[in-house]
């Protein structure tokens, strides 16, 4: 299994710091968060893209995943008017182009909150959005990974059954699935059921700990999840690929300290 550093926690620092830490601590790749001050999709399509490619070359650490900020600040393709939806689509299509331009293997988007739309309308909007984005990725020879979220963050396909059914229904060659282990854990589901159900559609993993009662992402060992067993079961179920230690903003005041600690503890789980 390859471990990735998520740059969201470095948003108050220079992006170079995240690359330097990835090398210093022994991460295998970077998952680039796409929001100001670094990684915002329109910027990557101009001068910032060259800067990121330069950091990749300088430090020798690939950006495997590009994860543009969306769903709240200000883009959410599941909410708002037709014009707002179109703006969100254009932004995420730009993000897909940006991900491809910096050499990422895939761009990752999550399922936004619809604000309680009726199920049929919510499903139509979700499917129309993902098919358009998957088509955009396919035209570039790129892949789109879609992440489901906890019920505190989204009202769309938060459990495995509905999420897997969505991917199976769309059945798009450029559209892939993943598992953020917090999502099943807080709902009483087994994270290892994701690779069991998704099979070859599962392309990515977010590996963190959980308090069991919220969407908070914690350093391994600081929560309630039996991560050693979870990781063993996920690997036994056939997934042994990329695993980003997705520390978001909970540790934003000391990103280096916790990026190091998270990787140390993740590697201990592999023994």
147 in active site: yes
CB of 117 within 8 A of CB of 148?
no
What's the pLDDT score for residue 72?
Answer: 78
Helix 255-269 vs helix 227-236: crossing angle, to nearest 10: 60
Mean pLDDT per block of 10 residues along the chain (271 residues) reads: 98 97 99 96 96 98 98 90 98 99 98 97 98 99 99 98 99 99 99 99 98 98 98 98 97 98 97 77
Q: How many domains does the chain have?
A: 1
Helix 47-59 vs helix 15-25: crossing angle, to nearest 10: 20
Cα-flanking dihedrals φ and ψ of residue 206, to 5°? -105, 120
What's the pLDDT score for residue 6?
Answer: 99
What's the pLDDT score for residue 63?
Answer: 99
Q: Measure the CA–CA gap between 231 and 243, rounded to whole angstroms.
A: 10
204 bridge partner residues: 178
What's the pLDDT score for residue 260?
Answer: 99
Give me 69's structure tokens.
Answer: 């900020």
Q: Measure the CA–CA gap between 237 and 80, rounded to whole angstroms.
A: 39
Q: Which of 69, 147, 153, 222 does the annotation list as catalytic?
A: 147
CB of 15 within 8 A of CB of 39?
yes
Q: Is the pTM of this model over 0.95?
A: yes
Question: Residue 244: which CATH number?
Answer: 3.20.20.150
246 in active site: yes
What's the pLDDT score for residue 34?
Answer: 97
**Boundaries of domain holding 145:** 2-269
């Amino acid at each position: 299994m390859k471990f990735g550093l998520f740059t969201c926690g470095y948003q108050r620092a220079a992006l170079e710091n995240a690359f330097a830490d990835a090398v210093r601590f022994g991460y295998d790749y970077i998952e680039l968060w796409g929001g100001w001050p670094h990684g915002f999709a329109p910027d990557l399509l101009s001068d910032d893209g060259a800067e990121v490619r330069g950091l990749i070359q300088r430090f020798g650490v690939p950006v495997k995943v590009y994860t543009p900020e969306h769903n709240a600040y200000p883009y959410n393709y599941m909410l708002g008017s037709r014009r707002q939806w179109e703006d969100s689509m254009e932004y995420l299509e730009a993000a897909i182009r940006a991900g491809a331009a910096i050499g990422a293997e895939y761009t990752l988007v999550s399922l936004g909150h619809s604000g309680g739309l009726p199920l049929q309308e919510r499903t139509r909007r979700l499917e129309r959005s993902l098919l358009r984005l998957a088509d955009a990725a396919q035209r570039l020879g790129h892949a789109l990974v879609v992440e489901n979220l906890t019920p505190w963050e989204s009202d769309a396909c938060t459990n495995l059954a509905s999420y897997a059914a969505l991917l199976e229904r769309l059945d798009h060659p450029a559209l892939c699935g993943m598992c953020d282990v917090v999502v099943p854990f807080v709902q009483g589901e087994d994270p290892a059921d994701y690779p069991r159900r998704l099979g070859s559609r599962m392309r990515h993993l977010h590996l963190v700990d959980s308090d069991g009662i919220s969407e908070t992402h914690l350093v391994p060992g600081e929560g309630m999840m039996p991560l050693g067993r979870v990781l063993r079961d996920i690997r036994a179920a056939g997934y042994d690929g990329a695993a980003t230690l997705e520390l978001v903003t909970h540790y934003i005041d000391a990103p280096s300290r916790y990026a190091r600690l998270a990787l140390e503890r993740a590697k201990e789980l592999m023994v």
